Structure 1
Amino acid sequence: MSLLARRQVVAVFLAFAFTYFFSALLRAITATLSPTLTQEFQLQAGDLGLLAGGYFLGFSAMQLPLGTWLDRHGPKKVLVWFLGVAVVGCLVFAFATNFSTLLAARVLCGAGVGACLMAPLTGFRRWFSPQVQLRTNSWMLMTGSFGMLASTLPVQWLLPVVGWRPLFWGLAVLLVVAIAVIALVVPNWQAVPHEPGSEPGSYRAVWRHPYFWQMSPIGFFNYGGMIAVQTLWAGPWMVRVTGFDPLASAAGLFTINIAMLVTFWTWGLVTLRLQRRGLDADRLIAWGTPLSLLALAALILAGPQAGPLMLALFCVSTTFVALAQPSVGMAFPASLAGRALSGYNLVIFGGVFVVQWGIGLLIDGFGALGMDVVSAFRAAFATYLVANVLSYGWFLWSRSHNRQQSP
């Protein structure tokens, strides 16, 4: 099962999970804070999309050097240094007095937590068997759902008590604790020889791999876009389209994240059984993605009647695509695992940034054309649906093409 003793496996997983919890909380907190920040800083929809997307801009910018550093230096050393940047980002956000500083802080936060999932997945690729990697990947994502839960009602309840700035002071302190836990628990790293014909630190073998390109569009639009909705636009949809107040919107986000938590926990339980029955990631994605397309179409058609349950259905049905991430990692040798995983993570979170900001720009643009708020939201989400359908079509074609090219 593992190159580590069972007790050490549990300790390492929990150390990484503790850190990833705060990464996910920072990622999603903008959705809960959006009414407060919009009022205090007079933000437009495009500004709000850019602010939330700033996290993913910083996150994405670090993925390529991150992959090389992970392969060379290992999860422990890299994650400790990255988390130090996240601490600075939280402190800058807490003291921000204008939109530009808020945006810079979000970029720093995103860059700083950019290794919180890739570091453990790189370690798991070395330390765990392929079957266990699928399970631990799902349960790491489940931990992220805990963080997103913490960003909803708990944050909404704390806002009137302490305000949003002290929340970020507290997050900075907790990230310092996470640094200490990682330094104490995670094993040291020994770099392995690179593959014959590949260049140390180069992404050439990753970019040229047909499986990577098969999975890239659905990672960018379908899965990255779902994260964009979950971590930002679900909140404004419930406030501006469905008509919820901020507290009801936070409760709706709590519902969505509970559903995601249960879903990833279930994926961790069933992936091994599904694999034994010949249901690999490609087949599950091919069968499951149409469900997410139908759920998104139903959300758009329902408009003001589409509340948290319909948003949760869309997010849950898109988790089939989450199976692509460990599959991409396992398609490459261990010496390339950090680069393969980080390269694919760049695709996903590049998609989050583009969709998060893009939906905001589309809402403002359709509004400028004379549409009311509800119609502008529906038109923006319909544009996103078209991108998802095209990405799924590419996946089906590429999958068939790659099969034909296989010896």
Structure 2
Amino acid sequence: MATLVARWRWLVLASIGLSYLLVFTQRTGPGVISDQLQAEFHVSAAVLGSITSIQYLLYMLLQIPVGVYGDRSGPERLLMAGVLFDGVGTLVFSNAHEFVWLLVGRAIVGLGDSLIWVNIVLILAKWFARGKFGAVLALVNTAGNVGALVTSIPLASWIAVAGWRTPFRVIGTLLVLAAILDLYVLMVGRPGRLAKSVQTSEVHIERLPLGKMLADVVRNRVSWATFFCHFGAMGTYLAMVSLWVIPYFMDVYGLPRAHAAWFTLTAFIGALVASPVMGALSDRLNDRKRPYFVVQTLALLAWLAIVVFNGQPPLLLAGVVMFVVGFGCGSSLLTFAAIRDHVPASRSGVTSGFANTGGFLSAVLLPVLFGAVIDAAGGGTGATTLAARHAYGVAFILPAAFSALGVFGSLLLPGRRRNVTEAHA
């Protein structure tokens, strides 16, 4: 049985990776069709931003409860339910003919999405030892970034041929099937049932009173450091790529959709490269702080480059900006590696949820604020290229400011990691 369980962990990793790949398509996919949605449903830029914000608002509000119940009741069923909700929400979204149903669909996706990442971290912590954790987490993060790649050129090309509804219906169906696969691998299969009841790695979780657990998290420096790191690295990138990057290149540079999608592809490649590189590098250095500080600072400088050029840097530089901010997002796995290194297992789930709340608070606020600035600066629907350029130049101050908080968070992180036990609680 021990040999079977050892082999089964790779099936667990593959199943989780496939699910996360599909889930990630629903974080970035709507950005490919944002202009079509705005035209079809006759909404302003600020209102369009609510499609992304409502998804991430639910995600944000549920992160700490998800962390608590993942720690206490087991993350497997929560992950399976999350993938299922993602699929159902995507199907509702793809069949919407009124704007309110678009919002309902994204809200269901947000509910499902809130159950994904924290429970992935907790499941992998059961199956893989600490020395392999950074690399394994990087593989799953890479799978998510492959999903993001799918929503660039491939999805844009598919939409050009079939319209936007059919691709989203197919992805929704695949998510439902992935939930069924997770149910079997994590809960129904014999090794999965054994792992649910027996800790298969060195992780030992002592149950603490909920009030004490939450108080310890809020008082803990690592909690706030990872909160701000995720706010800057992941949330800012996700908010922009999910909605505004493709419209930016279409409005300011006059690019057709398929060409504009190359720049989201560039960002996704940056994230794809960063996950294994930063996971392995930080493991080798035995340090999360220094690598995270470097990438957070580079992301801040990248957003500022657009502001400095008044909204329209040279196209090559704009491509470099997209790669750098994508690389920063891919490095956000260091948030959870730092938690694994410095936080006792009894509150790792709720601390991960708290940190994830930071990322999705950024993703909630930025799309609506960015759209509101675009409207206020005269860059809304029907604006001239010059007006759009000015509006975006002003609006890009926002992601730069958000990224500055990520730099601050990385400075708060502890240095070299230490062994964490409950004695440190």
> TM tier, shorter chain?
0.7 to 0.9
User: CA 1:393/1:173 → structure 2, altered by over 3 Å: closer, same or farther?
Assistant: closer
Report what 1:113 is aligned to.
Answer: 113
* Matched letter for residue 288 of structure 2: A
**Once the 2 structures are TM-superposed, how far is the Cα of residue 320 of structure 1 from its aligned partner?**
4.2
For structure 1, the residue ranges without an aligned partner over 5 or more in a row are 401-405
What is residue 209 of structure 1 aligned with on the other side? Answer: 220
Does residue 361 (structure 1) correspond to residue 367 (structure 2)? The answer is: no
Structure 2 counterpart of 1:376, which letter? Answer: A
Residue of structure 2 equivalent to 1:378: 393
Judged with a 3 Å threshold, the aligned counterparts in structure 2 of structure 1 residues 77 and 368 are, in CA distance, closer, same or farther, namely: closer
Cα 1:201–1:73, aligned 2, differ >3 Å: closer, same or farther? farther
User: What percentage of residue pairs aligned between the two structures are identical?
Assistant: 23
The within-5 A match list for 1:98-177 is: 98-177=98-177
* CA 153–201 in structure 1, closer or farther in 2 if over 3 Å, else same: farther
- 1:390/1:88 Cα in 2 relative to 1: closer, same or farther (>3 Å)? closer
Per-residue Cα deviation, 1:7-28 (whole angstroms, up to 9, x for no partner): 2221111110111011110000
In the TM superposition, what are the counterparts of 1:265-276 in structure 2 within 5 Å?
A: 265-275=276-286
Aligned partner of 2:16 in structure 1 is 16
The equivalences for 1:305-344 within 5 A come to 305-306=314-315, 307-317=318-328, 319-344=330-355
Alpha-carbon distance in 2 for matches of 1:4, 1:379? 57
Quote the Cα distance in structure 2 between the aligned partners of 1:234 and 1:160: 18
TM value normalised by structure 2: 0.84
Q: Is the 8 A contact 1:198 1:205 kept in 2?
A: no
Tell me, in whole angstroms, the C-alpha distance in 2 between the residues paired with 1:394 and 1:179: 35
Amino acid at match of 1:301: V
Is 347-356 or 191-200 further displaced after alignment?
191-200
Partner Cα distance (2:330, 2:89) in 1? 29
Q: CA deviation at 1:109?
A: 0.8
8 Å CA contact 1:139–1:268 kept in 2: the answer is: no
What is the aligned partner in structure 2 of residue 220 from structure 1? 231
**Which residue is 1:262 aligned to?**
273
Partner residue in 2 for 1:291: 298
Residues 293, 411 of structure 2: 8 Å contact kept? yes
Question: Quick one: distance in 1 between partners of 2:31 and 2:351?
Answer: 30
Give the C-alpha shift of residue 89 in structure 1. Answer: 1.0
CA contact (8 A) 1:194 1:200 kept: no
Q: Contact 2:94 / 2:168 at 8 angstroms: preserved in 1?
A: yes
For 2:296, the aligned partner's letter is T
Contact kept, 8 Å, 1:4 with 1:127, in 2: the verdict is: no
Name the counterpart of 1:403: none
The 8 Å contact of residues 142 and 261 in structure 1, kept in 2 or not, is answered as yes
Change (3 A) 1:238 1:85: same
Deviations along 1:336-393, one digit per CA (max 9) or x if unpaired, are 2221212211221121111222211222222289992111111111233234335534
Amino acid at match of 1:155: L
**Measured at CA, do residues 397 and 347 of structure 1 come closer, stay the same or move farther in structure 2, by a change above 3 Å?**
closer
- The amino acid across from 2:133 in the alignment is Q
What residue identity is the alignment partner of 1:134?
G
Offset at 1:3? 11
Q: Tell me, in whole angstroms, the C-alpha distance in 2 between the residues paired with 1:167 and 1:152.
A: 13
Partners of 2:212 and 2:87 lie apart in 1 by 28
Counterpart Cα distance in 2 of 1:51 and 1:232: 9
Residue 301 (1) aligns with residue 304 (2): no
For residues 262-296 of structure 1, what are the alpha-carbon distances to aligned partners after superposition, in whole Å with 9 as ceiling and x for unaligned?
22232344333222xxxx11122233322222222
Q: C-alpha distance in 2, partners of 1:373/1:289?
A: 28
* C-alpha spacing 1:178/1:13, structure 2 compared with 1 (3 Å): same
Q: Give unpaired runs (5+ residues) of structure 2.
A: 187-191, 416-423
Give the counterpart letter for 1:127 in structure 2: W
Tell me the distance in 2 between the aligned counterparts of 1:201 and 1:85.
31
Give the aligned CA root-mean-square deviation in angstroms: 2.8
Distance 1:394 1:301 in 2: 24
Is the counterpart of residue 28 in structure 1 residue 20 in structure 2? no
Cα distance in 1 for residues equivalent to 2:52 and 2:330 = 21
C-alpha distance in 1 between matches for 2:295 and 2:350:
27
User: How many Å apart are 1:221 and its aligned residue?
Assistant: 3.2
**1:219-258 correspondence to structure 2 within 5 Å:** 219-258=230-269
- What is the distance in 1 between the residues matched to 2:65 and 2:297? 35
Cα distance, 1:210 vs. partner? 1.6
Q: CA separation in 1, counterparts of 2:127 and 2:275? A: 21
1:345-356 correspondence to structure 2 within 5 Å? 345-356=356-367
Deviation at 1:121, TM superposition (A): 0.6
Alpha-carbon spacing, 1:213–1:300, altered in 2? closer, same or farther (3 Å): same
Closer/same/farther in 2, CA of residues 200 and 12 from structure 1, 3 Å limit: farther
| Matched AA of 1:346 | T
Does 2:210 align with 1:199? Answer: yes
Where do 1:58-77 residues align within 5 Å?
A: 58-77=58-77
The alpha-carbon deviation at position 161 of structure 1 amounts to: 3.0
Q: Work out the number of aligned pairs and report it.
A: 396
Output one character per residue of 1:126-145: Cα deviation in whole Å (capped at 9) or x when no partner.
Answer: 33222311112222111111
Asked if the contact 2:269–2:326 (Cα under 8 Å) also holds between the matched residues in 1, the reply is no
Q: 1:320 to 1:261 in 2, by over 3 A?
A: closer
CA distance in 2, matches of 1:18, 1:337: 24
Q: Normalising by the residue count of structure 1, what TM-score does the alignment of the two structures yield?
A: 0.88
Query: What secondary structure sits across from 1:115 in the alignment?
Result: coil
Query: What amino acid is aligned across from residue 261 of structure 1 in structure 2?
Result: L
1:64, CA displacement in angstroms?
A: 2.3
CA–CA distance in structure 1, aligned partners of residues 69 and 228 of structure 2: 26
Residues 3 and 346 of structure 1, relative CA distance in 2, 3 Å threshold: farther
